[in-house]
Amino acid sequence: MKFKTWLMGSVLLGAVSCMTGCGNGGGGSSASKSITVGFAQIGAESDWRVAETVSIKEEAEKRGVNLKFSDAQGKKENQIRAIRNFIAQGVNAIILAPKEETGWDSVLKEAKDAGIPVVLVDRGIKVEDESLYATLIASDFVYEGRMAGEWLAQKTGGKAKIIELQGSPGAAPAIDRQKGFVEVIDQHEGMEIIASQTGQFEQEKGQKVMEALLQQHGETVTAVYAHNDNMALGAIQAIKQAGKKPGEDILIVSIDAVKSAFEAMARGELNCTVECSPLLGSMAFDSVEALLAGKPVEKKQVVPDQVYDQSQATPEIVAGRKY
């Protein structure tokens, strides 16, 4: 029944988009006008996540999509419940930002059986059957970890005693950012991770973990690698409270490139941030429209990232940051 709806929608949307030139080319497309899309978001644990939510909501509004939004408050079970609700409501497509890599097989099978395509944004998953989702739009987290490691190796001449603040356990960015970073530091005898703990991608938790780790390793640590900017900002507070200078006594490299990280770089407190764009709204709805129109969509769409250091934290660049 639902599959039929999707097919009928495909034909209808195909016809509409062909009348408008067989393309969707971004904003204002009439192709999305009559569709309903469910977005199962993780929560609001970081500036990055908030920016991603805004990007998806703004793009839906621009395209006239009826968006059903669910904030899972950081719980995978809530995301699974939200997906089931979306299925029950007969949405045309689902956008999912999966909290963790595993545990999605059953619910995505239910979506597939209902004929509802699923677009993954930001994080990848591990499923038995890859056809359970249509496409993944995300950054290359291993590459980001490598870039962070390479920046630190170059800056320190390959000598550092590092505290690693990990993202939430089981999340693709936590797993892959560690992998990429370790790949690089393993090539330098003088680089060592002396402690590694999760700060759950949250600023407050990052600060608490760093406070505790400084008690143990305050005399030896020379660098912090945080899996996201918010945890780095928390670490900066902890380092200051411990009477040290973040960015000088202890070098700090993190990932995301949110505006507050640029402000911290401008103050000299953060040394480097590797970009991970949360502005995924346009790509997500381009994919939804294409899928509903029966057009092919790449299984993985990689979002390009770049590295920023303090020299790029100029007032113009800081002012121009969109998130």
Which residue ranges make up the site for ligand AHR (CB under 6 A)?
A: 45-46, 48-49, 122-123, 173, 201, 228, 255-256, 276
- Rounded CA separation 65/209 (Å): 41
| Residue among 122 and 289 whose Cβ is closer to ligand AHR | 122
- Rounded CA separation 53/248 (Å): 34
**Minimum distance, C-beta of residue 125 to ligand AHR, in the bound complex (Å):** 12
| Residue among 191 and 255 whose Cβ is closer to ligand AHR | 255
| Residue among 49 and 161 whose Cβ is closer to ligand AHR | 49
Is residue 313 within 8 A of residue 262, CB to CB? The reply is yes
**Minimum distance, C-beta of residue 313 to ligand AHR, in the bound complex (Å):** 19
DSSP one-letter code for 167: -
How far are the Cα atoms of 174, 207, 220, 294 from residue 287, in angstroms, in the given order?
26, 38, 48, 10
**Minimum distance, C-beta of residue 105 to ligand AHR, in the bound complex (Å):** 21
Sign of CA dihedral 125, 135, 283, 8: negative
**Minimum distance, C-beta of residue 45 to ligand AHR, in the bound complex (Å):** 5
**Minimum distance, C-beta of residue 147 to ligand AHR, in the bound complex (Å):** 13
**Minimum distance, C-beta of residue 176 to ligand AHR, in the bound complex (Å):** 10
DSSP string, 174-223: HHHHHHHHHHHHTT-TTEEEEEEEE-TT-HHHHHHHHHHHHHHHTTT--E
DSSP string, 8-36: HHHHHHHHHHHHTTS---STT-GGGTT-E
What single-letter amino acid sits at 319? A
| Residue among 83 and 172 whose Cβ is closer to ligand AHR | 172
| Residue among 47 and 289 whose Cβ is closer to ligand AHR | 47
| Residue among 67 and 261 whose Cβ is closer to ligand AHR | 261
